[in-house]
Structure 1
Amino acid sequence: MKKISIPGPGGYEKLTIVECDLRQLKDNEVHIEVHAFGVNFADVCIRWGLYESAKQYVGWPITPGFEWAGVVKNIGSKVSNVAIGQEVFGVSLFNAYATDVIVPSHQVFSKPKNISMSEAAGIPAVYLTAYYGLFQNIILRPQSTILIHSAAGGVGGALVQMAKIAGHKSVGIIGSSHKRSYVEELGADLVIDKKTQNWFVEAKNFSQRGYDIVFDANGQSTLKKSFDLLAPMGKLVSYGFHSMLPKKGGRLNWFKLIYTFLTTPRFNPINMTNQNKSLISFNLSFLFDEVDVLSQAMGDIVTWIESGQLKAPKVTQYSFSNVADAHRDIESGQSVGKLIILTK
């Protein structure tokens, strides 16, 4: 088998293709021949040495990747939910940047017939993040109003659609005009282009009472204003810190990283109590062993995709040898939907 290995923190040159033997299959595991895998901003953070669960669970060298789609090649003796030859997709705690992956059976799901392998590979990590943030982390009142930063990205696009499925209003914020039509097609009630509009003013004008939830993966650049836009009992969901990180060059700007870390807003629990507002944060990679959480989320996601309520993300494809190009593009902040690597 072949895989992308990162020997240590650094730029695009650290993404190296290596050949290795496949390890032995355990009783509860499934061997997948990977046809495509998704690229996420978390993978870039892994390459930079900034991703906490990567440091805790693996260290160096590491093969990144949280999501994949392919065909079952072999199953352990205790596996009953999938069969050899079946088209599947799912999640892995790293190691998805490869031609083959071995994962516990509870992380493997039947691929919906109405989407391609590439589309399937771009769904698990981002749609699970959206689902967990919206439905398993929070109790929503009917017809809530939700503000979504980076609405044209993988997680943002899923949040826009899931909000609509659940009967809520959504406002999507984008950073480039070419992303507007995509987010409108996904069902956002309002799209704000922060490159040409004052996003804070436009968002406030749309919902004078504030927002029941604000999803923010930017971090330092927008957290304070996102919190200020919350309605009473509103919740700010923070699941990333993209604005602290470089958009070109592939290497960390340590001065910027330290500066933005020091200037990232801090939220005092006494003040939050007095304002009747909350802050919630999570990291999906720590949840892959939660069988009930994963099963419920993927069950709903697959049902919605098969029924046509939930669309697969728009995908841009790259060859296995061009992983660095995908990292460069996702860092730029200009991509729409999901970036997918084909192994064949």
Structure 2
Amino acid sequence: MRTAAQAIASTSNFVLATHVRPDGDALGSMFGLAHILKMMGKEVCCYLEQPVADVYIFLASPVSIETDFARVSAFASQCSDDIMGIALDCGDLGRLGDNGTELSTIQPFLVIDHHQGNKGFGDLHWVEPHRSSTGEMIYDLAEELGVADELSREAAECLYTAIVTDTGSFRYESTTGHTFAVAGKLIDRGVTPASVCQRLFDNASFASLQLTQAVLASLQTYLDNQVAVVRVTRQMLQETGANYEDAEGLINFPRSVKEVRVAVIMKEGEPGTDQISVSLRAKGDCDVAEVASQFSGGGHRNAAGCRVLGKTMDEVCSMLLPVLEQALEQKKNKQV
């Protein structure tokens, strides 16, 4: 962390980016860091491949967001050598999207991440897989930079959102005493937990409820109910009027079943693509990051994902089940 802080302190201009289809940790970390850098008098350009999802739009104000990569390139070119690129919450260069390779040519390029399977791209790396979230790391970075006591309420809300979403509201095993300590300090900086959680979890649309109904109707269980699989298809989205963002969090329904050790949600890609996105959530010692790594994915021990090209959902499920069975058997053998 100290090396990252020193590099940031000596730089005036920054391009911040995160992974495609960003979640609460990705956006909260990026916008929280943007607030911190601007507070320090730095110039910041936040790049997103697509506009912010409605559920997270409250985090974006008053951060300046750029979705036109040509403008990002123009900003970078006018900064000469006094610039740094930073990727947040992203474990793989490919996850930065179509312009990831060009983004990584901004030098130095710093990677701040907590994913177990981080591929080690970039020039500088601050990767701590044991952390609850990248947002927790950004708060510690603010302390290292000496500005944590000056965080605005907006910055604190961004980092709190990052933490609360990536810990499953402080339910996942990555949650530590330090996580709670950071959350407490963010509350001291003006965060109202009830207000943040209402914006995140109590603002469902009727379309999203209809999507939830359709997704839960797809539920199938395997391996003596230890594995539960649900699906999100393009047809479901079309019929309900929902979008991919509305599917975020639906994996928690099968995960909450007592007998289930691993929950899986498979999502069809955008029209014109043959990609199936797979998210896995585990309870206990089953290492789904290891499972995902066998399909060129990654993540954390209890939360991971991958993308499979050129296969149907049924084919992807058939590929996953033997690997999950092996992972669950390994966990059982360790307990004996």
More helix by share: 2
TM-score of the two chains, using structure 1 as the length reference:
0.35
More strand by share: 1
Q: Which has the higher contact order (CA 8 A, sep 6+)?
A: 1
